[in-house]
Structure 1
């Protein structure tokens, strides 16, 4: 395929998968339960954090997490007492456990109280063509509070050569808004042109087969290479192609 044919093919796949039917099969359904901006942000962030492994398990455990937060994640984060946190201790999703969840809630409270919220902190450190430095700075602020060293591994750092798949997926959810009803687009201060593709096994393998990516490892260097390829297809909304790459990989075994 030449670039024109590749773009037409991928655009058709974006149209196929970037629609409300996608929500029912994806962890993005969890923040879609909420209407308030801060509830969507926190539900989305916590869900994205545990989005690795079996998708049914991710969705099931994310729903359980929201129940533990009394279906009011922002209110729980801002107003919980120490005794409220005890019921969270049994939570576990793979290597993310109840102690990690409690730490995340304390860090989120710190972000909202001292840094004006999640959107504000990502906006503050934005570079002209990428949000990867913002992710690095966000992680530093997130762990400014006293914390368990083990919990740091649950937020990736692009400056340490991580593709940061889960947090890039979260940023897609918050920033993209193409009126299809899947992504939220509630962070108006940031442009979709800054987003990076959530690079995982599925999207990486499909990208390599289509000639969008040569590097074999799914790391920060591969992400930069893939971003460059996708920006050539659509510089304003490059990460819409995540739907195409993911759909081809997961649903079509491309």
Structure 2
């Protein structure tokens, strides 16, 4: 395919998969259960954090998290008791994300929301930046603070060349603005043109098959290589192609 044919093909696939039906089988269904901004942020961040492995298993684990929080994430974060945290410490949550990690995240959310109305404040893009490389690292440093903790491994660092797939996915949920009903677009001070595509096995393999990237690793350098390709197709809303690449990967349409 030449450039125009490829762009038209990916536009068509993005249009096909960026639809309400996408929500049912995706972790994004977890924050879609809420209407309050902070509930959406907390539920979305936790669901994104545990988003590795089978999607059905991810959703089940996220539902377990919501149950522990009484299905009121923001209220729980702001008003938990010591007994609440003790009760989650030994719980199994999702793979290597355990009760100790969950309790740590709750305490960090509490501190951040006492200082900020929204998590958006921690991800603001600064002048001269063209993606979320530095933004994610600033957030990571703020959320994790200086003290070493086992939970640090659950928030990836693009400075260490991680693709930061789960945070990039969370950012797409919060920042992208359209009328399709999938992404929320509740963050108004960050332009969607800075978004990247969450790079995982599916999107990485399809990107290589289509000639969008040449690197074999799914790392931050490949995220930036993919940025260059997709922003030529739509510089204002590049992350919409996540729907196309992910959908093509899951359905194995190109195999």
| Kept after mapping to 2: 8 A contact 1:110/1:145 | no
The alignment's TM-score, normalised by the length of structure 2, stands at: 0.96
Question: Which residue is 2:77 aligned to?
Answer: 77
Structure 1 segment 58-97 matched on structure 2, within 5 A: 58-89=58-89, 90-97=91-98
Alignment RMSD, CA only? 1.3
Structure 1 position 121, deviation (Å): 1.0
Question: Which residue is 1:2 aligned to?
Answer: 2
| Kept after mapping to 1: 8 A contact 2:7/2:233 | yes
| Kept after mapping to 2: 8 A contact 1:127/1:133 | no
Structure 1 position 91, deviation (Å): 3.0
Question: Which residue is 2:141 aligned to?
Answer: 140
Query: 1:34/1:41 Cα in 2 relative to 1: closer, same or farther (>3 Å)?
Result: same
Structure 1 position 209, deviation (Å): 0.5
Unaligned runs of 5+ in 2: none
Question: Which residue is 2:130 aligned to?
Answer: 129
The alignment's TM-score, normalised by the length of structure 1, stands at: 0.96
Structure 1 position 125, deviation (Å): 4.8
Structure 1 position 126, deviation (Å): 6.8
Structure 1 position 110, deviation (Å): 1.4
Distance 1:235 1:128 in 2: 15
Question: Which residue is 1:196 aligned to?
Answer: 196
Counterpart secondary structure, 2:214: coil
Distance 2:185 2:145 in 1: 28
Counterpart secondary structure, 2:75: helix
Question: Which residue is 2:166 aligned to?
Answer: 166
Counterpart secondary structure, 1:92: strand
Q: Which runs of 4+ in 1 moved over 3 A?
A: 124-128
Number of matched pairs: 253
Question: Which residue is 2:181 aligned to?
Answer: 181
Query: 1:120/1:144 Cα in 2 relative to 1: closer, same or farther (>3 Å)?
Result: same
Unaligned runs of 5+ in 1: none
